[in-house]
A and B are shown apart, each in its own frame.
Chain A
Amino acid sequence: MAENKAEAREADGGPRRRRVDAAEAARARARAVSLPDTPSDYPRELEKIEVELLLDGIHRHYGFDFRSYAYSSIKRRLWKRIQQEGLETVSALQDRVLHDPALMEELLLDLSINVTAMFRDPGFYLAFRTQVVPVLRTYPFIRVWHAGCSTGEEVYSMAILLQEEGLYDRARIYATDINEVVLHRAKSGIFPLEKMQEYTQNYLAAGGARSFSEYYTAMYDGALFNASLTRNVVFSQHNLVTDGSFAEFNVILCRNVMIYFDRDLQNRVHELFAASLVPFGLLCLGNKESLRFTAFEERYEALNAKEKIFRRKG
């Protein structure tokens, strides 16, 4: 089903395609609702037992492993679904999810969509232009991995940056996420029109020198980004928790993805990244993520400590 839609998208964009994409974009936006208030009088220790049982059941039955996610945020995402389904306990959700694969798909979206923006943290992209691009110019071919790319905002940001710096033609960007639905949306290249003002400001603060609107076509309910931006992008499903390394990269970007993981899982993912970087390859983390709380501090040196750009030692 997902593949049929993808094929429809390959074809010339008719109004039907746009309606479908716009509806999907609206649905994805509606999902990005806030963290809910959890019931005030719910017994906390029982809740923890129930959450662990639910995540264990999901892992054993469906294979998705959320057992090492940071407890307080995954718990809130679970409560959002519990409330939307009109249920009252975590156990009630467990009963429903284990017997209803369609509900599992919904829950998978709840648990795995990370909210981001184009050129989020403009200072990072500015540092990438001034400090990373000169390094990348020395390579004949550049492999970039966006790990946990979610709906693709930062992938398009990087594609724009590499095009402007004249590096795009020798680059390949691997954009991966655990979740097929968000990848599908990332691939569509359609983003909410009302975000363009914010993204334009970010783009300019990130050192963009053109008019941001050159990169998209405004439609009635979305901004369709130029297909040339994804010519060298490979969108693919990859699970950071369970899947291994699949290539050697010059740059790995994984920004504000691991904040949802506990420290053990963060360490496992860092192991994967260290094994997937070429010597002196670059690891880019979110502004408030630190190697200090991991076992990998010694393996990297900071190229830009403030913007969290690290270089693998040898």
Chain B
Amino acid sequence: MGASAQGYRMVVVGVSAGGLSALRTLVGGLPAGFGLPVAVVQHRSKDSELLCELLQECTALEVGEVNDKEEVRAGRVYVAPPDYHLLAEDGFFSLSTDAPVRYSRPSIDVLFDSASDVYGPDLIGVVLTGANADGSRGLRRIVDQGGYAVVQDPGTAEVRMMPQAAAKAVPEACVLPLDAIGPHLASIRGRRVPPCRGARA
């Protein structure tokens, strides 16, 4: 539960409209030996089944939709199944069919919030393109617990609203163009780094 000397232990990613292409760039930018588990919430319709295959095409990391109580393993990409909330527990994931949160199921905030409970300062949160404000509260929570925040530069986002809202809620977030996010995560994964800007007053 406490902070780990080795560095971060989990990356959580939230993305909405424009997400497929953004996720392919992000995941494709992670090295084969990335070594951290990556959990992704992408807002999508109930019958979109191809997301994992399309992501798998562009990475050597294993990509899969989460099954309930699935163990967290390093270097694997976990995608929230459509129509379920994805929650982090200590060492595994749980799913929930509780009502949508601010119209979303899966909800980015629910994943970020639950992961922050489990991983505290050992967590990296990433908010990418999207047309709503999901993820802002969860990212704020991650940074309040000592974790690290990355937001896609809204100028490089297909839809800028979600990264804009996240950057506003979390001024400490490191704002990066999409194609720089994967390499940045790879460069910081082994050591905890301070926020990009000074902590808020």
Chain A residues at the B interface, C-beta cutoff of 8 Å = 32-35, 37-38, 40-41, 44-45, 70-73, 75-77, 114-116, 256, 258-260, 263, 266, 286-290, 292-293
Contacts and interface: CB of A to CB of B under 8 A. Distances in A.
Contacts of B65: 288
Contacts of A33: 99
Contact of A73 (B81, B96, B107): B96
A258 B96 CA distance: 10
Contact of B1 (A37, A45, A77, A260): A45
Interface in B104-155: 107, 109-110, 113-114, 117-118, 120, 137, 140-141, 144-145
A293 B92 CA distance: 11
A299 B67 CA distance: 20
Contacts of A114: 97
A288 B144 contact: no
**Among the interface residues B71, B96, B102, which one has the most CB atoms of the partner chain A within 10 A?**
B96
Nearest to A256: B97
B178 to A, nearest CB: 28
Given A44-B120, A290-B70, 17 more contacts: A34-B101, A35-B101, A37-B109, A38-B113, A41-B144, A44-B117, A70-B87, A71-B89, A72-B87, A72-B117, A72-B118, A75-B117, A114-B97, A116-B97, A259-B84, A259-B97, A286-B68
B24 to A, nearest CB: 23
Contacts of B1: 44-45
Given A37-B113, A72-B87, A72-B114, A290 B67 contact: yes
A288 B81 contact: yes
28 contacts: A34-B101, A35-B85, A35-B98, A35-B99, A40-B140, A40-B145, A70-B87, A70-B89, A70-B94, A72-B114, A73-B85, A75-B117, A76-B98, A76-B110, A77-B98, A114-B97, A115-B99, A258-B68, A259-B69, A259-B97, A286-B68, A287-B81, A288-B84, A290-B67, A292-B67, A293-B67, A293-B68, A293-B69
Q: Give the bracket for the number of chain B residues in contact with chain A.
A: 35 or more
Main secondary structure of the interface of B (DSSP, over half): mixed
Contacts of B145: 40
A165 B51 CA distance: 35
A242 to B, nearest CB: 21
Contacts of B88: 72
Interface in B51-78: 65-71
A115 B97 contact: yes
Contact of B68 (A32, A72, A288): A288
B95 interface: yes
Interface in B23-56: none
Contacts of B194: none
A85 to B, nearest CB: 19
B137 A37 contact: yes
B96 A263 contact: no
B100 interface: yes
A44 B99 CA distance: 24
A289 B107 contact: no
Nearest to A260: B96
Nearest to B143: A40
Given A34-B98, A40-B140, A289 B89 contact: no
Contacts of B94: 70, 72-73, 259-260
A221 B65 CA distance: 38
B96 A259 contact: yes
Nearest to A36: B101
**Among the interface residues B66, B100, B120, which one has the most CB atoms of the partner chain A within 10 A?**
B100
Contacts of B66: 288
Nearest to A263: B69
**Among the interface residues A115, A260, A288, which one has the most CB atoms of the partner chain B within 10 A?**
A288
**Among the interface residues A40, A45, A292, which one has the most CB atoms of the partner chain B within 10 A?**
A40
A75 B98 CA distance: 13
8 closest pairs, A vs B, by CB? A34-B101, A72-B87, A290-B67, A70-B94, A72-B114, A32-B99, A259-B68, A293-B69
Given A38-B113, A45-B1, A288 B102 contact: no
A290 B68 contact: yes
A33 B107 CA distance: 13
B140 A288 contact: no
A117 to B, nearest CB: 9
**Among the interface residues A33, A35, A44, which one has the most CB atoms of the partner chain B within 10 A?**
A35
B4 to A, nearest CB: 16
A134 to B, nearest CB: 26
A268 to B, nearest CB: 14
